[in-house]
Structure 1
Amino acid sequence: MKSRPIQTLIYSKMKKALSLVTALLLLTSCATIFNESHTNITFYSTEAIQIVCKQDTLNTIDNKAILQVERKNEPLQLTVSTDSLSKTIEIEAKHSYRYWSNLIANGGIGMLVDKNTPKRYTYAHRIYINVTDTLISYSNYIQGKSKGEIDLTLSLPHLNSFLLKPENEGAKTNTGFWGLNLGLDYYHSQRQFFTIGISWVSDFFVPLPAAVDLSGELELMSSSYASFSNNHKLGRFSLGYGFAYTKNIWDFKYFDRFDPPPPTREAVKKSSIALGFIFPAYFQLGKHFNLGLIYRPTFFRPEMTDKFQYEHLISIDFAWKIRLKQ
């Protein structure tokens, strides 16, 4: 049998390697594979409207309409009309989250494959149209809500920084993880709402669920509190101010495992009731999801000998708001 020339073997192997690399690139191009050629935009309006996009015309039903549009790297032009008003609006194209997910999924390699496909683009998934007597305006977030609306808030104040002053102990500071909050928002006007909530937070040192073996001395801080605040909605932001009733706990423990050094003092747990304020601030990232920063200072401890002491809690909060009543 005649052997193949070395150049032919090298060419064959290079061709196979190139085919394999191409296949891997195609498999890692998130937008090209997973995005469809069209995407949906959901419109919400304050009253009945008609939407015209090229040859498509649709009317809102219960102040809602869904329009399917082709993905392109160009603005989408729409005409929005009521019985007495009409306005042409443009929705800018943007990169889809699946295009950006290439950075995590494959270190950005998939972006090379997605570079020339219109599937890499998308439009805002939700458009909110506000109609007044003389004006039609729009945004991709809810600018205000109906008076009387009630929202349920479920949140995770996951990163918590404490300054506590247990009696006869001096100042104690630490930053850790884990918390839970349950609250209700009541809109008493279109851009203002009351919030009542109950919360528990801790400074546990592990950010993710995991089995932990503890050894030696350990100081733990936690806090439970009820709060009431008035909040102003400013575009995507909401800023609030109110009052908090708090129970702070400082717990000094000793775990006799893995032959730790002997304890320097007896284990002790101290708690105190404290009164103060709360200042929540949130930024709306999606229809339901909000990222927040909570500052909760307290000044008065009615049960303590040293009643007037400044303490605080600062939390980074991940919140989901779900409408209960329109």
Structure 2
Amino acid sequence: MISIRPPVVCNQIQNDHMKQLITILITSCLFSSCATLLNQPTAYVTLKTTKPALIISGTDSVETKENKAVLTLERSKNPIVLTTISDSLKSQITVKARNSIAYKYNVFNLGIGALIEKGSPKRYEYPWTVKIDPSDTTSRVYDYYKTPHKGQLNLTCTFPWVNSFYFQPSHETSKANTGFWGFSAGLEYYYKDKKYLSLAGSAVMDFFIPFPAPVDFSGEVENMYSVYSSLMDNFIFGRFTLGYGLNYSRNTWKLVYHDRFDPPPPTREPATKSSNSIGLTIDGYYQIGKRFHIGLIYRPTLLNIKPEVDFKYEHLISIDFAWKIRLKQ
């Protein structure tokens, strides 16, 4: 349990807790090599063919059963070359190694694990499934990042991990803070190849610790959080995605008094100030896996419609981690 006390009561205890928190963070970063812990030295690749075939990989060969075969491969940064023979036809496909999902999880330990595992073969993976048409005799390279096509529908689940707030609550001085955690879910519909509309609902907060932990607060504490929906138009450029659109947001600043650990008396009454606003959303993402994206969201609100109608600038800036699941091709 982490206890948060006001500095005027117990500065030394607060400093000790901060030192402990920093020690925990450093220790978790140094000893969290995700790929080393989670990945086995070998990886399995399922090959699916359109008809029976003999598949050759290096010095190994395997015949498909019910148009399917499984290869066991040593993890490596080197590509694998698969040759299929069927009805006297020979085809060849090259499958490049890529960074595994476990290796990408090192973003959550601030990249320290990625540096430790930079030269490790366990950082790499091959696709779980490779589809092969033995009748296609052209040599080709397996495409991890297939271009989305018109009519495709995706479910998105994202985690705005770092959130920076700037609010102007009614009859209060401006408030700013940066914290962690949030969640968003939505849908993407491709109305053209490489172009799609997205609709999402999100909730973010300014929790001061970058990982879940029980916390005891003491004295006056300010909280900031936001719930909003966005409708956006998006464009894909290679692995980059850029989007723009509108948002409807409910921004909340809250002052809470926790009567624990003998805090000093409150300086004022607790308060909650919320506003409903309309604004813009601009974001950019980079695809680093088949379904995994990392991005930056800038969400300013400009027109306040509740509790009163006026022009007021507030913003949220988030570092976001997104997963996309295809629902319809």
Which of the five TM-score ranges fits, normalised by the shorter chain? 0.5 to 0.7
Determine the structure 2 residue equivalent to 1:124.
126
Question: What SS does the corresponding residue of 1:271 show, helix, strand or coil?
Answer: strand
Q: With the length of structure 2 as denominator, give the TM-score of the two structures.
A: 0.67
Match of 2:81 among 67, 74, 77: 77
- Structure possessing the higher relative contact order (Cα contacts under 8 Å, 6 or more residues apart): 2
Query: 1:253, 1:121 → 2: CA distance?
Result: 45
Q: 1:269 to 1:94 in 2, by over 3 A?
A: closer
Q: Partners of 1:317 and 1:72 in 2: how far apart? A: 29
Matching residue's letter, 2:268: R
**Counterpart amino acid of 1:170?**
T
The alpha carbon displacement at 1:66 in A equals 6.2
Matched-pair contact (CA < 8 Å) for 1:130–1:138? no
Using the TM superposition, give the Cα deviation of residue 248 of structure 1 relative to its aligned residue in structure 2, in angstroms. 0.7
1:35 equivalent to 2:41? Answer yes
Residue 71 of structure 1 aligns to which amino acid in structure 2? E
Shift of 1:263: 1.6
One of 245, 250, 258 as aligned partner of 1:247: 250
2:173 corresponds in structure 1 to 170
User: 2:324 is matched with which residue?
Assistant: 321
Aligned partner of 2:273 in structure 1 is 270
Change in Cα spacing, 1:265 to 1:211, as seen in structure 2 (3 Å) is: same
Q: How does the TM-score come out when normalised to structure 1?
A: 0.68
Render the CA deviation track for 1:107-160: whole Å, top value 9, x for unaligned: 99x99xx98xxx7695632688999xxx98645432412321211112221221
**Structure 2, gaps ≥5 residues long:** 1-34
Report how many aligned residue pairs link the two structures: 279
Larger Rg: 1
State the alpha-carbon separation in 2 of the partners of residues 295 and 289 from structure 1: 20
Relative to 1, partners in 2 of residues 1:318 and 1:268: Cα closer, same or farther, differing over 3 Å?
same
CA, structure 1 residues 137+94, in 2 after alignment: closer, same or farther (shift >3 Å)? closer
The reply on whether 1:229 has 2:232 as its aligned counterpart is yes
Aligned partners of 1:90 and 1:240: how far apart in 2? 33
Q: What is the CA deviation profile of residues 29-82 of structure 1, one whole-angstrom value per residue up to 9, with x for unaligned ones? A: 969x9323xx4446799x99x9964585989x9xx976626438654335699x
How many Å apart are 1:89 and its aligned residue? 5.5
Q: Report the alpha carbon displacement of residue 230 of structure 1 after superposing the two structures with TM.
A: 1.1
Structure 1 unaligned spans of 5+: 1-28
Amino acid at match of 2:126: A
1: CA distance between counterparts of 2:160 and 2:123? Answer: 34
Corresponding residue number in structure 1 for 2:210: 207
